[in-house]
Amino acid sequence: MKTKKEEAVFYYLNKEMIENLEENYIIGSDDRNESIKHLKEINSDYSNELLISDDMFNIIKKDY
């Protein structure tokens, strides 16, 4: 039986991808901007990378 941690899928976004998200999300809703800021805050240990969940990755992918 897998633990929750083993079942979760995460992606690392590099700095360039984060900047693209920020640019694209400025035009979007405030909720999305807040989500990106929040993700950056909780992943502040990764200076050039952003750790996101599989669900969030799929949401972002739809916007491209």
* Alpha helices, H only, 1-64: 4-7, 15-27, 30-42, 54-62
- Domain range holding 48? 4-62
The number of folded domains in the chain is: 1
Confidence band of 5 (pLDDT split at 50, 70, 90):
very low
**Mind listing the pLDDT tens digit for each residue in 22-52?**
665 554 455 655 666 666 665 555 444 555 6
Which pTM does this prediction carry? 0.27
